[in-house]
Structure formats: C-alpha cells, structure tokens
A and B are shown apart, each in its own frame.
Chain A
Amino acid sequence: GAVVSQHPSWVICKSGTSVKIECRSLDFQATTMFWYRQFPKQSLMLMATSNEGSKATYEQGVEKDKFLINHASLTLSTLTVTSAHPEDSSFYICSASSVSQGIEKLFFGSGTQLSVL
C-alpha cells in the first residue's frame, strides 16, 4: 500500500535556527502534498497545499516567508521552518494525495515533533 515517509520524527533546535522537514511518497507519485500543524489531541490545521513544480498555496494566517515549502519532485516536498522560535514548537504532519480508480486518497506521514528551545 501507499506509504508516506516523513523525516525527521523529532527535532530539537535553538531559537533562531532553521529546520527542514522532508515528506516523501515512497511508492506513488504525489502531485499534491499538504502540510499540517497539530497540537495534542486537536485538529490538524492545514498550513499549506504544495503542488509539484509550482508555488505552495498558504492558508490564511500562515506566514509564507517563515514556513518555506518546496515541492521539487513528484515524490518529495519539504517544509523549512525559518528562524524558529519557541512558539513554533508543535507537531507537523504532511500528507500526499493519490488518485486510484477515480478515488482520491490521502496518505499521511507519521509527523515531526519540533521543539524550539
């Protein structure tokens, strides 16, 4: 079955540094990937929609200069949290869209816990 790999699963960094999170679709091509942010036991907040070869579409209130998204290939999207601050500490999850037999499915990565000191 389709698998999405997200790396790293856990990162601790100092305030002011940048962190890159990778999201890969392992056995399918994902023209669209999504990035979410989640606080414990809460809804996943959609941050941005990433389309291969084009600029990401950011949701209202999400700073595009702070959360840089690159979707350079059909199997890889990256989220870079630039100049991270403690309030950016959260759980980040990606998902990739796949259409099979006319049905669209979403496959999720296992998430990245970011802790900014």
Chain B
Amino acid sequence: DQQVKQNSPSLSVQEGRISILNCDYTNSMFDYFLWYKKYPAEGPTFLISISSIKDKNEDGRFTVFLNKSAKHLSLHIVPSQPGDSAVYFCALYNFNKFYFGSGTKLNVKP
C-alpha cells in the first residue's frame, strides 16, 4: 500500500514558466517532507525540505508548500530552466523511515 503518491509521471513546461510538482500522502503522522532531484545514473540529490510545523519553505527558485489538511505537498520551481529537467521525488520521513513517491519526470523546454 503506497503511502505517498505522485500521480503525474511526467510534466512538460516552457523555460521561464512555473513548474509545479505534486505529492499526496495518506498518513498524517509524518514529521518531515523532502524533495529530491534525480539525473540518470545518479542518486537523488536533496533539494529542499519542510517540517510538519510549517506550511511553506523557500530557497531561491524552489518553494515547497505543505497542506496538512489536504495531505498534499508541492514543489514550485520558478522560473524553470532547462537544467531543471530531471525526475523529482517527494519523500516523507517519520519514525526513522523514509517513504518515497514514484517520481515525476520534468522536462523544461528551451
């Protein structure tokens, strides 16, 4: 039973526009929420995180939003750049365990 879902396997965005990546979860007991970016043949790279006591965290072009009532996490990238093209995973952490979404492949077109 998947506790974390990324329902969009792929997303295509024009350079300069906003990319919005979504993640839904079922268990409300998660402490910490993370986004990772992954290029082919590499391990996922940590991007940004947010704790359960916050609803927004911003770092440069990346902003993560947490809506606990809706059990929804999103990552906004603005402006999107071609180098952002990668697979993005959301990950939730609780009780010393990670739960990953299945990933969304982002393609930013020049």
Residue pair B98, A42 in contact (C-beta under 8 Å): no
What residues of chain B lie closer than 8 Å to A44, measured between beta carbons?
36, 43-46
Q: How far is the CA of A1 from the CA of B100 in the complex (A)?
A: 13
Interface size (B, Cβ < 8 Å)? 27
Q: Does B23 contact A (CB under 8 A)?
A: no
* B102 close to A36 (CB less than 8 A): no
Given A108-B100, A110-B97, A111-B97: A103 and B10 interface contact (C-beta under 8 Å)? yes
A113 located at the interface, meaning its Cβ lies under 8 Å from any Cβ of chain B in the complex:
yes
Partner of B87, one of A10, A36, A106: A106
Number of residue pairs spanning A and B whose beta carbons lie under 8 angstroms apart? 62
In this assembly, does A3 line the interface, its C-beta being within 8 Å of a C-beta of chain B? yes
Docked Cα-Cα span, A44 to B32, in Å, equals 16
Taking a contact as CB atoms under 8 Å apart, the answer to whether A105 and B103 are in contact is yes
The answer to whether residues A105 and B97 also contact, given A3-B1, A43-B46 and a CB cut-off of 8 A, is no
* Residue A21 at the chain B interface, CB threshold 8 Å: no
Taking Cβ atoms with an 8 Å cutoff, the residues of B that contact A are 1-2, 5, 9-10, 32, 34, 36, 38, 41-46, 49, 87, 89, 91, 96-100, 102-103, 105
Q: List 26 A-B contacts (CB under 8 A).
A: A1-B2, A1-B5, A2-B2, A9-B97, A34-B43, A36-B43, A41-B32, A41-B46, A42-B46, A43-B36, A43-B44, A43-B46, A44-B44, A44-B46, A45-B43, A46-B42, A91-B98, A103-B105, A105-B9, A105-B103, A106-B100, A107-B100, A108-B91, A110-B97, A111-B96, A111-B98
Residues of A within 8 A of B (CB): 1-3, 9-10, 34, 36, 41-46, 91, 93, 95, 103, 105-108, 110-111, 113
Instruction: Name the 8 nearest CB pairs between A and B, nearest first.
Output: A46-B43, A108-B100, A110-B97, A44-B43, A1-B2, A43-B46, A43-B45, A105-B102
